[in-house]
Amino acid sequence: MGIISYLTTTEFGPGSLAKLPESLTGLGIRRPLLVSDRGLAATPLVERVRALCPEGTPVFLDVPTNPTEEAALAALALYKAEGCDGLVALGGGSPIDLAKAVGLLATHPAPLARYAAIDGGMVHITAAVAPLVAIPTTAGTGAEVGRASLMTLADGRKVGIISQHLIPRLALCDPELTLGLPPGLTAATGLDALSHCIETFLSPRDNPPAEAIALDGAGRIWRNLERAVADGSDLAARTELMMGALEGGLTFQKGLGAVHALSHALGSLKEPSLHHGTLNAILMPPVVRFNAGHVGDKLARIKAALGLPAEVDLAAELDALNRRLNIPAGIRTLGVTEAMLPSVVEKALADHSNATNPRAATGDDYMALLRAVMV
Amino acid sequence: MGIISYLTTTEFGPGSLAKLPESLTGLGIRRPLLVSDRGLAATPLVERVRALCPEGTPVFLDVPTNPTEEAALAALALYKAEGCDGLVALGGGSPIDLAKAVGLLATHPAPLARYAAIDGGMVHITAAVAPLVAIPTTAGTGAEVGRASLMTLADGRKVGIISQHLIPRLALCDPELTLGLPPGLTAATGLDALSHCIETFLSPRDNPPAEAIALDGAGRIWRNLERAVADGSDLAARTELMMGALEGGLTFQKGLGAVHALSHALGSLKEPSLHHGTLNAILMPPVVRFNAGHVGDKLARIKAALGLPAEVDLAAELDALNRRLNIPAGIRTLGVTEAMLPSVVEKALADHSNATNPRAATGDDYMALLRAVMV
């Protein structure tokens, strides 16, 4: 167990959840709103965390898989009605991203669209954002140390709201909380984390510390994901996975790429409602293939970090891992139809992650990438 | 050129000095105190930086090699007399560490001893510390992103004053500023940076992102230090060295070890006045030998990061590098006498870095390490 201080203070290690009461006191949060979701509320975890919060802590659970402005406004109403002065987010990326939006709206004027990164909205976000403690239950999104809240606005756009002030004031990363995660979600969230490490490493921005962290994280995930999927009670593998996911989140500042431009666009569909990590897993092989030849020696360095022989094809290895982990073969089986693709391409082009893909992607390129996963 | 956001905002790359005026405006600093030293004042650099500061910016230059409380109080008097509201530190670790102490005392009650880390003084340090922009001219100390100010107190102790609030609000890392550094100082400061990467990597605290950054930094320094010493105008090598030094500074949170416990102790001698980087270079080989066998597979991982064959002896390689770079063979030639050693051992045992050496070091151990470099 240890304290790690990049981007924000992070209490890391099995048992670190016990630090929550003193952490809230240290941050001056006397009445938090606990944000989680219906899935977790069906487990003992929400009540366990609530018991570590001040007595009478209100709870908001109606968080959609892809959080919406509507849900944020509902949580905000509860936050205000209950006189809250901070937030505790428990869950995967959805409750954490929603809590970030609530902390923003609690102290900044509506509407949420005003803060969209793609429209330069970060200039409106100040240090007044309400303090947030993030407790991830997946390994995972890296949202616990990320500057972004991905929100579907009332106008249907899925946008990133991005500011250093949105970073949770404390991340409590306790791998024991992921022991109950079923194999399918362990796989999809672990591949999400792997996609963060790989996409940020490949992004053209110059940030050597981020690249070093990304390679370290990718190696940890690669060596431990199948172990954790095979035996969910393997705490050592769970701990390594959670560290890899944290490291993925620590590298977001380098920028993501086409995998995320497309998964954000697909994630903004109302129907089907698609899982972000699953989408990233499916999209990684074709995007790595698309970018090969535009990333210098970086694919070789990723293979070295994963312990793979130099001569193998990284995209094929990622595809084979998806198969071994029973990730759906493509997005058609998830309910995406041909008719949806043109608007997905439009949204991918408008996504903030599009700018940091190592190879400039046109609308035709995005359409070809989508067609490659229309299985 | 790029922005890196670990611990603090860092503008990195050739030419980034030009960002100083807008950076001061962004931080709300209208009247900075420029802190540098007499050595740099003999070059055009101090005036060049002053010209980028608001008109009439006062300058403090009387910074000793190992900064003292006395010098900090003199700078503080100027800061107050001139109505300053922030600091710009230009130089190696000495002006940056002194500026941190001035920023602390400008907003917190004296004496400096109140804030010594070894006595738990960090609890007295609040976010009120005056804002500081650090501009390193060596690659180097990592002080531009470090939480520590190493100060020799009025009572003769050399102590670390350590707090996240002492981290400069902005680091401007412009490798062009190191082009004029002579070969001897390039070598000594580069080996200082290498010692940061190696000691923090070997420290027993659990912090994988810091370890990943440390190995990346060690490799950059190892591959470029001799190039920069041979040809000071090699901007590519200078840039890699400055990145390695920045990365060393980003890893301090893991804790240092016996090299720094001893170099802090030796650096507190009034006479001879010893250079921190030179001491670290001299001390590294025997300390690496002392720790071998207590660091798992970490020496092998360092060798891999440096591109060295697995079978070589790392301590011997470090020693050979010292010889190639004309580092003094030991501390006796620098003026240290046998009579000084007992008090140096006492100070090393009391140093904050002693706690994070991978192998617990006794007074006898420290005496043996000192005797090994009494050449």
pLDDT digits (tens, 9 = 90+) for A171-193: 999 999 999 999 999 999 999 99
Distance between CA A254 and CA A199 in Å, rounded? 9
Is B149 within 8 Å of B186 (Cβ atoms)? no
State the Cα–Cα distance between residues A286 and A357, nearest whole angstrom.
Answer: 13
Identify whether residues A74 and A193 lie together within a single domain: no
DSSP-assigned beta bridge partners for residue B151 = B159
- What 3-state class would DSSP assign to B150? strand
Chain B residues close to A205, C-beta within 8 Å: 2
Query: What band does B3 get if pLDDT is binned at 50, 70 and 90?
Result: confident
Whether residue A190 contacts residue A241, with contact meaning beta carbons closer than 8 Å, is answered with yes
**Chain A contact present for B6, CB below 8 A:** yes
Q: Do A7 and B6 touch (CB under 8 A)?
A: yes
For B133, the domain range is: 2-177
Angle between helices B298-306 and B183-202 (to 10 degrees): 140
Q: Rounded to whole angstroms, how far apart are CA atoms A32 and B156?
A: 48
B229, B321: one domain: yes
Among B2, B205, B210, the residue with its CB nearest the CB of A205 is B2
Contact status, residue A182 vs residue A275, Cβ threshold 8 Å? no
CATH code where residue B101 lies: 3.40.50.1970
ipTM confidence:
0.92
Same domain, A211 and A136: no
Question: Do residues A73 and A170 both lie within one domain?
Answer: yes
Closest residue in A to B10 (Cα–Cα)? A207
pLDDT at site A113: 96
Choose one of A118, A142, A177: the last residue of a domain: A177
3-class SS letters over chain A: CEEEEECEEEEECCCHHHHHHHHHHHHCCCCEEEECCHHHHCCCHHHHHHHHCCCCCCEECCCCCCCEHHHHHHHHHHHHHCCCCEEEEEECHHHHHHHHHHHHHCCCCCCHHHHEHHHCHHHHCCCCCCCEEEEECCCCCCCCCCCEEEEECCCCCEEEEECHHHCCCEEEECHHHHCCCCHHHHHHHHHHHHHHHHHHHHCCCCCHHHHHHHHHHHHHHHHHHHHHHHCCCCHHHHHHHHHHHHHHHHCHHHCCCHHHHHHHHHHCCCCCCCCHHHHHHHHHHHHHHHHCCCCCCHHHHHHHHHCCCCCCCHHHHHHHHHHHCCCCCCCCCCCCCHHHHHHHHHHHHHCHHHHHCCCCCCHHHHHHHHHHCCC
Amino acid at B6: Y
Give the distance from residue B216's alpha carbon to the nearest chain A alpha carbon, in angstroms.
Answer: 6
Do the Cβ atoms of A213 and B211 come within 8 Å? no
Question: Is B247 close to A209, i.e. CB distance below 8 A?
Answer: yes
- Name B297's Cβ contacts closer than 8 Å, sequence gap at least 6: none
Contact B4 A211 (CB under 8 A): no
Query: Which residue of chain B has the CA closest to A215?
Result: B212
Of the partner residues B7, B207, B243, the one whose CB lies closest to the CB of residue A2: B207
**B264-296 per-position pLDDT tens digit:** 999 989 899 999 999 999 999 999 999 999 999
Greater confidence, B60 or A2? B60
Query: Does residue A6 carry a pLDDT above 80?
Result: yes
Decide if pLDDT at B192 tops 60: yes
Same structural domain, B134 and B197: no
Measured at the CA of A258, the angle between CA A255 and CA A259, to 5 degrees, comes to 95
**A-chain residues within 8 Å CB-CB of B5?**
7, 164, 253
Residue A1: the pLDDT is 52
3-state DSSP of B209-252: HHHHHHHHHHHHHHHHHHHHHHCCCCHHHHHHHHHHHHHHHHCH
A70 contact partners, CB below 8 Å, separation of at least 6: A154
The interface residues of chain A toward chain B in range 253-272, judged by CB-CB distance below 8 A, are 253
- A56: confidence class by pLDDT, cuts 50, 70, 90: very high
Q: Decide the pairing of beta strands A86-91 and A148-152.
A: unpaired
Judge if A155 and A219 occupy the same domain: no
Test the A interface: residue of B3, B5, B252, B253 with most A CBs within 10 Å = B5
Other beta carbons within 10 Å of B51: 12
Strand partners, B32: B86
CB B206 within 8 A of CB A1: yes
Compute the nearest-CA separation of B372 from chain A (Å).
Answer: 34
Q: Do A209 and B6 touch (CB under 8 A)?
A: yes
- Residue B4's pLDDT band (boundaries 50, 70, 90)? confident
The contacts found for B25-31 with CB under 8 angstroms, 24 or more apart, are B27/B86, B27/B131, B27/B133, B27/B169, B27/B170, B28/B85, B28/B86, B28/B131, B29/B85, B29/B86, B29/B88, B29/B131, B29/B133, B30/B54, B30/B85, B31/B57, B31/B82, B31/B83, B31/B84, B31/B85, B31/B86
Torsion of CA A233, A239, A242, A246, to 10 degrees: 170
Q: What's the confidence (pLDDT) of residue B158? A: 86
Q: What is the pLDDT of residues B111-121, one digit of tens each?
A: 999 999 989 99
Tell me, what's the pLDDT at A2? 72
Residues B136, B245 contacting (CB under 8 angstroms):
yes
CA angle B91, B279, B155 (to 5 degrees): 75
Residue that is last in its domain, among A177, A199, A234: A177
Beta-strand pair A170-173/A132-136: parallel
With CB atoms and an 8 Å threshold, state whether A212 touches B215.
yes
How far is residue B298's CA from residue B301's CA, in Å, rounded to a whole number?
Answer: 5
Q: What percent of chain A has pLDDT over 90?
A: 95
Which residue of B207, B223, B241, B242 to mutate against A (max A Cβ within 10 Å)? B207
Determine the residue of chain B that is closest to A249 in CA distance. Answer: B209
Q: Counting Cβ atoms within 10 Å, is residue B311 exposed (0-12), middle (13-18) or buried (19+)?
A: exposed
Instruction: Determine how β-strand B170-173 pairs with β-strand B132-136.
Output: parallel
Task: With beta carbons under 8 A apart, name residues in chain B contacting A220.
Answer: 208
The pLDDT assigned to B231 comes to 98
What pLDDT sits at residue A82?
98
pLDDT score for A151: 95
The answer to whether residues B173 and B214 belong to one domain is no
Helix B276-291 and helix B258-267, axial crossing angle in degrees, nearest 10 = 150
User: Is residue B1 predicted with pLDDT exceeding 70?
Assistant: no
B202 and B245 inside one domain: yes
Structure tokens at A352: 């903030």
Cα B280-B291-B212 angle, rounded to 5 deg: 75
Asked whether residue B52 falls in the same domain as residue B103, the answer is: yes
**Residue B195 and residue B55 in one domain:** no
Over residues A12-53, the pLDDT tens digits come to 999 999 999 999 999 999 999 999 999 999 999 999 999 999
Q: Which of B205, B206, B209 sits opposite A213 (nearest CB)?
A: B209
Summarised one tens digit per residue, pLDDT across range A311-364 is 999 999 999 999 999 999 999 999 999 999 999 999 999 999 999 999 999 999
* Range A320-336 burial, b when 16+ CB lie within 10 A, else e: ebbeebebbebbeebeb
Write the DSSP symbol of residue B153.
Answer: -
Q: How many domains does chain B have?
A: 2
pLDDT digits (tens, 9 = 90+) for B200-245: 999 999 999 999 999 999 999 999 999 999 999 999 999 999 999 9
Strands of the sheet with A59-60, listed across from one edge: A2-6, A8-12, A170-173, A132-136, A86-91, A32-35, A59-60
Question: What is the number of CB-based contacts under 8 A between chain A and chain B?
Answer: 65
Classify B161 as helix, strand or coil: strand
Kindly list the residues from chain B whose CB atom is less than 8 angstroms away from the CB atom of residue A252.
none
Spell out which residues of chain A touch residue B207, defining contact as CB-CB under 8 Å. 2, 4
Q: Do A5 and B164 touch (CB under 8 A)?
A: yes
Burial class (CB in 10 A: 0-12, 13-18, 19+), B350: middle
Per residue in B125-175, pLDDT (tens digit) is 999 999 999 999 999 999 999 999 999 999 988 899 999 999 999 999 999
Phi, psi values for residue A177, rounded to 5° = -70, -15
Report the 10 Å Cβ neighbour count for B65.
Answer: 15
A111 and A92 in one domain? yes
**Do residue A247 and residue B212 have CB atoms under 8 angstroms apart?**
yes
* Domain endpoint, select from B121, B152, B177: B177
Is the pLDDT at B2 greater than 80? The verdict is no
Are A212 and A356 part of one and the same domain? yes
A209 chain-B contacts, CB cut-off 8 A = 4, 6, 213, 216, 246-247, 250
Given CB atoms, is B216 within the 8 Å cutoff of chain A? Answer: yes
**pLDDT tens-digit map of B312-321:** 999 999 999 9
H-assigned helices in B268-324: 276-291, 298-306, 314-324
- Per cent of chain B over pLDDT 90 is 95
The CATH number for A276's domain is 1.20.1090.10
Residue B307 φ/ψ region, left for φ over 0, alpha for ψ in the -120 to 50 degree band, beta for the rest: left
Q: What is the C-alpha separation between B257 and B197, in angstroms, rounded?
A: 11
More confident residue, B175 or B65: B175
- Per the prediction, chain B carries an average pLDDT of 96
Question: Quick check: B65 contacting A, CB < 8 Å?
Answer: no
Q: How far is A24 from chain B (nearest CA, A)?
A: 18
